[in-house]
Amino acid sequence: MAGSAAGSPARSADCAACLALCCVGPSFAASADFAVDKPAHTPCRHLRADHACGIHDRLRPRGFPGCVVFDCFGAGQQVVQVTFGGSDRRVPAMFDALEVLRPLHEVLALLDEAARSGGAGAGAVGDDAVALVARVEETVRGDADALAVVDVAAVRREAGALFDEYVATVHAGRPGPDLRGADLLGADLRRRDLRAARLRGALLVGADLRGVDLDRAELLGADLRGADVRGARLDGALLLTAPQLAAARGDAATTVPDHLARPEHWTALPSAR
């Protein structure tokens, strides 16, 4: 939220080019992620007049870790600068557009990875990903009326099928354990061989993954909140996103994919070794 940026330019938040839509549009109930109740379409009490967060450098200690891990994947500036032509005034229709564009931008960020694989022997899957990226990019350039009728679920389904192909291609007939959707909340996984594991949608909240090699492990949609990944090898993980990394607890020894930035708060954590 208001102040973050990582990853490729088109798929990462540029809060300076937005109107803090994510700090105004959603409603929040007070929780471990967001310290206060906030009604929808109402500015957060910490939002400044210049659309910046007044507590950006203290979000975790002030009880707003949910803001640290939130990422619009560049959808916010797309709404303001493209859908609404660079408007300097927030209007309610922007929030509707953001609800469509955020998931589409997340899909694009993931498709980028599969598209890049075209040059690494993934051939047809990479080509299909490039083609789907082009179609989704055309969709996100639509005006507010066009966005209102986009079937986001259908786009996700199509991308999901392509991700299956991508993962299967990378695993080359030698997949690891199939843990898709598994409940691994708080599990000690330090001795599990999770190389090439399928962890799509797995619940890994608070799991102990210290020092684990997750090379070619598929992490699409895995819930990594509070997962201890200190010293883990994540550089070869598949379909991992910046918000997932930010939600986990890593350290200087944790490796991350080249296309993702190392979360700033990791350096403050004690090392696993």
CA–CA separation, 107 and 105 (whole Å): 5
Which residues within the stretch 7-26 sit at the binding site for ligand SF4 (CB under 6 A)?
23
How would you label 81-95 residue by residue, b for 16+ Cβ within 10 Å and e otherwise?
eebbeeeeebeeebb
Span from 39-47, 101-109, 244-252, 263-271 in contact with ligand SF4 (CB under 6 A): 39-47
Residue pair 100/226 in contact (Cβ under 8 Å)? The answer is no
For ligand SF4, the binding residue among 64, 73, 84, 166 (CB under 6 A) is: 64
Number of neighbours of residue 41 by Cβ within 10 angstroms:
12
Q: Please tell me the total number of residues recorded for the chain in this structure.
A: 273
CB of 38 to ligand SF4, least distance (A): 7
**Quick one: which of 16, 152, 150 has its CA closest to 76?**
16
**Quick one: which of 125, 113, 108 has its CA closest to 219?**
113
**Quick one: which of 78, 141, 108 has its CA closest to 241?**
108
| 67 vs 100, beta carbon nearer ligand SF4 | 67
Span from 41-49, 77-85, 178-186, 233-241 in contact with ligand SF4 (CB under 6 A): 41-49
For ligand SF4, the binding residue among 11, 19, 46, 182 (CB under 6 A) is: 46
Structure tokens at 214: 């997750």
For ligand SF4, the binding residue among 6, 19, 21, 53 (CB under 6 A) is: 53
Which residues within the stretch 67-126 sit at the binding site for ligand SF4 (CB under 6 A)?
67
CB of 160 to ligand SF4, least distance (A): 30
CB of 3 to ligand SF4, least distance (A): 7
- Sites of contact with ligand SF4 (CB under 6 A): 1-2, 23, 44, 46-47, 53, 55, 64, 67
